[in-house]
Amino acid sequence: MQEFYTNDPKGFADYGRIINQRHFQRIMALLEDSTVVIGGDSDESQCYIAPTVLRDVSPESKVMQEEIFGPILPILTVSGLKEAIEFINEREKPLALYVFSSNKGVIKQMISETSSGALLANDCMVHFTLSDLPFGGVGYSGTGRYHGKYSFDQLSHLRSCLIKKLNMERMNQMRYPPHTTEKLRWARLFLLKQVNLTRWRHVAQAAMLAALAAFVVQVG
């Protein structure tokens, strides 16, 4: 951080400020119950908060209960990848999950065993800038997908339309009252035929595949 912002971030021209005092006070309240190891300086008159790193953070700490939107980095330690995945899965699904590792196996395991709106390996935020990637949350972190065609699909209504001919109305008599034994018999017969047709269709497909396989083996 000294390389980026020198020893005096407050006087560094490229270091920004919190948008207003309300958010300044909200962010400062998140520092409670944690140990500051880097930074922590602030100036409410300028809405300034130094880049701050926290340790000894509890999962129940205020800073872990809501989105920070400020220059604060809480650090929690885990014993390994298994515990990290369990920690993630015990909580609401995040909007984005960032994995930093040179081990492709670790990255693949995080992809397959966690759920999040997006997952980015070895970088932050840049997935949002790519129009070919859908951006959105899942569950608690939001619904829907945006960017490019995904925005078009999200804001489009897929309308279901079913048109039945009026001359088929006579076939519907069995579903209207009175519900007689005869109508029930016809309904059962109709449903049984549907099941049998589906079953025979699968049998026919399997037979065709078997015949094709035998033909290929014979030709080979």
pLDDT reported for residue 107: 98
How far apart are alpha carbons 121 and 137 in whole angstroms?
Answer: 17
Query: Nearest to residue 88, comparing CAs of 115, 53, 119?
Result: 115
Q: Where in the chain is the domain with CATH 3.40.309.10?
A: 9-123
Type of residue found at 19: I
Burial of 154 (0-12, 13-18, 19+ CB in 10 A): middle
Angle (deg, nearest 10), helices 104-113 and 81-89 = 20
Q: pTM for the complete prediction? A: 0.70
How far apart are alpha carbons 45 and 50 in whole angstroms?
Answer: 14
Q: Which residues pair with 72 in a beta bridge?
A: 52
Side by side, the strands of the sheet bearing 52-55 are: 35-38, 52-55, 72-74
pLDDT reported for residue 195: 52
CATH superfamily of 9-123: Aldehyde Dehydrogenase; Chain A, domain 2 (3.40.309.10)
pLDDT reported for residue 196: 54
177 CB-side CA count, 13 A: 0
Enumerate residue ranges in the chain where pLDDT < 50: 197, 200, 212, 214-220
Look up residue 53 and give its two tokens.
Answer: 């790193």
Look up residue 61 and give its two tokens.
Answer: 């700490």
Query: Nearest to residue 94, comparing CAs of 136, 62, 137?
Result: 137
Q: How many CB atoms lie within 10 A of CB 100?
A: 11
How far apart are alpha carbons 49 and 35 in whole angstroms?
Answer: 16
